Amino acid sequence: MAEVKIKQGQELNGLGVMLKEIMDENLKDPKKYRSVEGLNASVVIREATSGVAITLHFKRGDIEIQNDAIDEPTAYMEAGFESLAYISSGQLSPIKAILTRKLKTGGNLLTLLKISNITVLK
C-alpha cells in the first residue's frame, strides 16, 4: 500500500500531519494512487493566516512530504485553515474556492487538479 513518506529527519508541522493522514487514507484506494503515480512535480500548500507551509514531492511513484515551501514548485495553493479544511474534507469544491477567492493558486493547475484525488476526501 502506498503511503506518503516524511522527509528524513523531519518532524512534520501540524498542517503536514493533518494532510498526511488524509492522503494516506486516500492512498489506500489503488485507483487514487494510480491517478498521481506518474506525476513528476512538487506542490506547495500553505495555510494563509499562520504562513505555515508544506511541500509535496511526486517522483517515480513516490510521494514525499516536507515542512516549508520550496522555491519554484510546479504548483502552489494557499488558503486559510477553515477553507483548507473544508476543501480537504470534500465539503468545498476547489474550483468554487478559487472562484470565491478562498483559495489562491499558481503554477500548473492540472497538477493541482490531479493531486486533489489524494488531498481531498471524496
Partner 1 sequence: MAIKFGSEEWLKAFTQEISQSQAYKEAAKKWEGDLYFVIEPEASLKDKIVVYVDLWHGECRSSALVADESEKTPAYRIWGPFGVWRQILEKKLDPVQAMMTGRLKVKGDMAQIMRMPRAAVELVNCVTKFETEFPD
Instruction: Report the interface residues with partner 1, using CB under 8 A.
Output: 11-15, 17-18, 21-22, 25, 47, 49-50, 52, 81-82, 85-86, 88-89, 91, 121
CA pair distance 35, 10, nearest whole angstrom: 27
Helix %, strand %, coil % of the chain (to 5): 40, 25, 35
- Whichever of 17 and 109 has its CB closer to partner 1, that residue is 17
- Whichever of 74 and 83 has its CB closer to partner 1, that residue is 83
- Whichever of 91 and 100 has its CB closer to partner 1, that residue is 91
Q: Shortest gap between Cβ of 98 and partner 1 (angstroms)?
A: 19
Total residues belonging to the chain: 122
- Whichever of 12 and 98 has its CB closer to partner 1, that residue is 12
Q: Shortest gap between Cβ of 24 and partner 1 (angstroms)?
A: 10
Identify the residue whose cell numbers are 484525488.
117
CA pair distance 51, 94, nearest whole angstrom: 20
CB 38 within 8 A of CB 78: no
